Chains A and B, each alone.
Chain A
Amino acid sequence: MKTDTHRVEDLANREYKYGFVTDIESDAVPAGLSEETVRLISSKKNEPEFLLQWRLKALRHWQTLVEPTWANIHHPPIDYQQIVYYSAPRTQGGPKSLDEVDPQLLETYEKLGIPLSERAALAGIAVDAVFDSVSVATTFKDKLKSLGIVFGSFSEAVQEHPDLIEKYLGSVVPVTDNFFAALNSAVFSDGSFCYVPKGVRCPMELSTYFRINAAKTGQFERTLIIADEGAYVSYLEGCTAPMRDENQLHAAVVELIAHDDATIKYSTVQNWYPGDKQGRGGIYNFVTKRGKCAGFRSKISWTQVETGSPITWKYPSCILQGDESVGEFYSVALTNNRQQADTGTKMIHIGRDTKSTIVSKGISAGFGQNTYRGAVKVLAGAARARNYSQCDSMLLGDTCGAHTFPYIDVANATATVEHEASTSKIGEDQIFYFQQRGISKEDAVNMIVNGFCKEVFRELPMEFAVEAQKLLGVSLEGSVG
């Protein structure tokens, strides 16, 4: 068992151990970040001038910043000059076939019920060598295209719809927003883009396609989703399988824009490699996600299930600008072993009669540290704004921790803000009760934890709710003595 754990670690950190010096042939730039790096990335991607200038602006700003330290997380310093900021994805170094993949990783896929066809991609085998993703994607895209929906990689969108990119990129998360967002803006390699035109309801969860391609998205991912007037889109990011990746630092940016009467539902299941039991290895996840409810009666709903990564720093937020707009945040964050999560949301009420709901469930086991950090801000003009927040923490064992930092700032007397919080612990007497009825300890913990997270799982697309439940079980394995 011990050695297996180490093998997973080895596998996940193969390149990291050697200081990020990846052994990729010609299509890579040297380690380190400078104007030259940014220019090189931009030219390799054949980007229009405005985008290059935008990246450079971000870089110059980033160079004036220092890494923030306010979050309740601790990790060794990151040497940003040791990182390779551009390399062709998945060229070398990965396993060639499933036979070369760590058996324990495959076992986990089995437990999670990941379809066979996807396992290879998730394990890091070059996608095109495994299955015909092109045809799957094409069928899918044709259907969306007939509705006028633009959906594809960010790079493609830059070439095909530069006007949309220029109009919306950075309109929610400006290049100057924060350290990690500035870094991402300067060097992002790829990501996803989606535009749903007026009055169109996207007929499918934008998930399957993304899942297959998730393995290629890379370290600095950029996502931009726009729902025009009256449009609806439900987008699912990530997947329940533990993702294998050589990169230690992930700094993604996601921007959502909802116009009048539009709705965007964004669901995330994050299960990056969390490091080993001693907290070695794993992927640091520093993400900036923000949505702007720009239009009247628009709605943005975030649902996240965060179980991976040794470090999670993430606050999917909503700017409620349009009158009567609605923001939602549903979150399950689980920290086991040495994982640390500092996550939550910001709800910024600008428009009148805006409404926001926050439901956060934090689960800590082992030596895990789980922090909820949330801000509810009601500006002077946000008459009759309403917020309801509920933050629940659950502790397994007595070596883990749960922390809650809610910030509430109300500048309009007609606003209503409610905050509820609870902390509970799974008791030995509860587990014994299950056992006495013939249910094993591990099943007991799963049932209790899943019961605790019910309100959030309800928000996930059906098939993912089931996978998320299983994922929690797998993530908690070995956490009860």
Chain B
Amino acid sequence: MLKIQDLHASVNGAEILKGIDLDVAAGEIHAIMGPNGSGKSTLAQVLAGRESYAVTRGSVLFEGKDLLALPPEDRAREGVFLAFQYPVEIPGVSNVYFLKAALNGVRRHRGEPELDAIDFLAYVREKMKIVDMDESFLQRSVNEGFSGGEKKRNEIFQMAVLDPKLAILDETDSGLDIDALKIVASGVNAMRDKRRAIVVVTHYQRLLEYIVPDRVHVLADGRIVRSGDKSLALELEKKGYAWLEEGVAR
């Protein structure tokens, strides 16, 4: 589904990604781990199409299409979803209005009819159960005044509503207490599907106890330095990132 080859990207002239190769197939969950500043979040942002990052080399194919040639909204409509590490607040725009615009944008792109208000509400109520959200939340402005945990849950809820083919979760575990972490993880697990690929970006192994990955990749200094199965995450937890960096950088 996702094929990244020799991807280089920089921000303000500084190269952050220095040649990433990664294949993710439908139905798989991949975890991308690595120390702070290794380029994990940059990779997530580049895949979603953030303009401030410049791709200097390499290619990304999504279902055989050149993902990098598409503007961010078209990537989203094609089925790429990014759960943000820091979801931004949008004052004055209610969740329900925002989601309806988003979902109908995706549906139009797929050639499906738009949902009217009644069908949309029924659909959304169903999805709210996945992350245990209260209905009053729909009328609140997007992320405004939300706690850290609510923001992260909202990301997973939006993912459930938009039903993407590829979901990238950027540090979705950061700032969550254990109860919130479990809710978020069970939401993600509920969306495991053989048609869907999920890429989990995380600093800690903790999340991977709840969302068990098929593959684990370790990113250091803009490159994938090690790939393995879920046991790699445990090994990292024990030995720390310094163990890997020693082997690579020097």
Chain A contacts to B: CB under 8 angstroms:
424, 427-430, 432-441, 443, 447-448, 450-452, 454
In chain B, what residue has the closest Cβ to A452? B92
Question: Is the pair B51, A432 in contact by a Cβ cutoff of 8 Å?
Answer: yes
Please pick, from A427, A438, A451, A454, the residue contacting B102 in the complex, using a CB distance under 8 A.
A438
Closest-CB distance, A481 to chain B (whole angstroms): 10
* A451 to B, closest residue via Cβ: B92
A441 contacts across to B, CB distance below 8 A: 73
> Contact check: which of B75, B88, B158 meets A427 at CB < 8 Å?
B88
Once bound together, how far apart are the Cα atoms of A432 and B97, in whole Å? Answer: 17
**Is the pair B92, A454 in contact by a Cβ cutoff of 8 Å?**
yes
Point out the residues of chain B lying under 8 angstroms from A434, CB to CB.
73, 90, 98, 102
With A433-B90, A447-B101 as contacts: A438 and B77 at CB distance below 8 Å: yes
Cα A448 to Cα B144 with chains together (Å): 13
Task: Judge whether A451 and B93 touch: CB under 8 Å.
Answer: yes
Within 8 Å of chain A (Cβ to Cβ): is B82? yes
Partner of A451, one of B84, B91, B105: B91
Task: Let me know if B49 and A435 touch, CB within 8 A.
Answer: yes
B15 to chain A, nearest CB (A): 22
CB-CB nearest 4 A-B residue pairs: A451-B92, A437-B102, A435-B72, A438-B76
Quick one: closest A residue to B143, CB to CB? Answer: A433
Q: Is the interface of A mostly helix, strand, loop or mixed?
A: helix
What is the chain A residue whose CB lies nearest that of B78? A438
Do the beta carbons of B73 and A433 come within 8 Å of each other?
A: no
Q: Which residues of B does A touch, CB under 8 Å?
A: 48-52, 71-73, 75-77, 81-82, 84, 87-88, 90-94, 97-98, 101-102, 105-106, 109, 141, 158, 162
Complex CA gap A427/B51 in Å reads 13
- Among residues of B, the one whose C-beta sits closest to the C-beta of A441 is B73
- Residue from A424, A428, A429 with most neighbouring chain B CB atoms (10 Å): A429
| Separation of A438 and B81 alpha carbons in the complex (Å) | 9
**A433 in contact with B93 given A438-B77, A439-B105 (CB within 8 Å):** no
Contacts of B52 in A (CB 8 A): 428
Inter-chain CA distance A428–B92, complex, in Å, is 17
Query: What would be 28 A-B contacts, judged by CB atoms less than 8 Å apart?
Result: A427-B88, A428-B51, A429-B88, A430-B90, A433-B84, A433-B88, A434-B73, A434-B98, A435-B72, A435-B73, A436-B48, A436-B49, A436-B75, A436-B76, A436-B81, A437-B76, A437-B105, A438-B105, A443-B101, A447-B93, A447-B97, A447-B101, A448-B92, A451-B90, A451-B91, A451-B141, A452-B91, A454-B92
> Is the CB–CB distance between B90 and A448 below 8 Å?
yes
Distance between B124 CB and nearest chain A CB, rounded to angstroms: 14
B2 CB to closest chain A CB, in angstroms?
16
Chain B minimum-CB-distance residue to A424: B91
Q: Within the complex, which residue of B71, B84, B93, B141 is in contact with A435, where a contact is CB–CB below 8 Å? A: B71
CB–CB B101/A436 < 8 A: no
B162 interface neighbour in A428, A430, A438, A448, Cβ under 8 Å: A438
Q: Which residue of A lies closest to B86 (CB)?
A: A429
Complex-state Cα separation, A424 to B87, whole angstroms: 18
Interfacial chain B residues near A451, Cβ < 8 Å: 90-94, 141
Query: Bound complex: CA of A386 vs CA of B91, how far in Å?
Result: 28
CA A440 to CA B76, docked complex, whole Å: 10
Q: Decide if B88 touches A430 in the complex (CB within 8 Å).
A: yes
Residues on the B chain within 8 Å of A447, using CB: 90, 93, 97-98, 101
In whole Å, how far is A265's beta carbon from the nearest beta carbon of chain B?
A: 24
Closest to A433 in B: B88
Can you name the residue of chain A whose Cβ is closest to the Cβ of B72? A435
Which residues in B have their C-beta under 8 angstroms from that of A440? 73, 105
Of A429, A435, A443, chain B has the most CB atoms within 10 Å of the CB of: A435
Inter-chain CA distance A443–B51, complex, in Å, is: 18
Known: A437-B98, A439-B73. 20 other contacts (CB 8 A): A429-B88, A430-B90, A434-B73, A435-B73, A436-B48, A436-B72, A436-B84, A437-B102, A437-B105, A437-B162, A438-B73, A438-B106, A440-B73, A440-B105, A441-B73, A447-B97, A447-B98, A448-B93, A451-B93, A451-B141
Shortest CB distance B138–A (Å)? 15
Among residues of A, the one whose C-beta sits closest to the C-beta of B48 is A436
Cα(A204)–Cα(B87), bound, Å? 46
Residues on A with C-beta less than 8 A from B92 are 448, 450-452, 454
Report the minimum CB–CB distance from B171 to chain A (whole Å): 15
Nearest A residue to B142, CB-CB: A433
Q: B77 CB to closest chain A CB, in angstroms?
A: 5
**Chain B contacts for A428, CB-based, 8 A:** 51-52
How far is it, in angstroms, between the C-alpha of A427 and the C-alpha of B86 when the chains are bound? 14
Q: Check B158–A437 contact: CB distance below 8 A.
A: yes
B77 contacts which chain A residues (CB < 8 A)?
A: 438
**What are the residues of chain A within 8 A of B48 when measuring CB–CB?**
432, 436
B81 contacts which chain A residues (CB < 8 A)? 436
A429–B91 CA distance with the chains assembled, in angstroms: 13
Bound-state CA distance A174–B162 (Å) is: 61
Measured between alpha carbons, how far is A354 from B49 in the docked complex, in Å?
A: 55
Cα–Cα, bound, A454→B73 (Å): 25
Q: Return A395 CB to nearest CB of chain B, in Å.
A: 14
Q: Could you say which residues of chain B place their CB within 8 Å of the CB of A450?
A: 92
Q: How far is the CA of A430 from the CA of B86 in the complex (A)?
A: 11
Once the chains are docked, how many angstroms separate the CA of A427 from the CA of B48? 17
With A428-B52, A433-B84 as contacts: A439 and B91 at CB distance below 8 Å: no
Give chain B nearest CB distance to A279 CB in angstroms: 29
Identify A433's interface contact among B51, B71, B87, B109, CB under 8 A.
B87
* Nearest residue, chain B, Cβ from A481: B51
**A450 to B93 CA separation, bound complex (whole angstroms):** 8
Q: How far is the CA of A452 from the CA of B141 in the complex (A)?
A: 11
A427–B87 CA distance with the chains assembled, in angstroms: 13
Contacts of B49 in A (CB 8 A): 435-436
Q: Note all chain B residues with C-beta closer than 8 A to A436.
A: 48-49, 72-73, 75-76, 81-82, 84
Instruction: Determine the chain A residues whose CB is within 8 A of the CB of B51 once the complex forms.
Output: 428, 432
